[in-house]
Amino acid sequence: MIIEDSVMLQLYLDRTQKEWFQKICREDDVTMSQQVRRLIKQFLSEQGIDPPYPELPNPYVREPRHR
């Protein structure tokens, strides 16, 4: 099974939310991407999912058919 090393996440924030998020990032001296990664890791940890993360099926890779 092939697992992607990266994933793209799009967040849609209104102007106020974006300014608030940027302020938090500046206070923590991190980029917005780094902050999102931290939040995702924190969420996964709270769900009891700690590294190494389990392999999940890649929806873009087809498994070979056995004949």
pLDDT for the residue 53: 64
Tokens of 39: 């939040």
pLDDT for the residue 61: 63
Angle between helices 15-28 and 32-46 (to 10 degrees): 90
> Residue ranges per domain, the chain?
15-46
The pLDDT of residue 1 is above 50: no
Tokens of 16: 């106020």
- Helical residues (DSSP H) of the chain, grouped into ranges: 15-28, 32-46
**AA letter at 64:** P
**Mean pLDDT, range 20-49, rounded to an integer:** 89
Share of the chain above pLDDT 70, in %: 66
The answer to whether the predicted template modeling score (pTM) of the entire model surpasses 0.75 is no
**Mean pLDDT, range 33-54, rounded to an integer:** 82
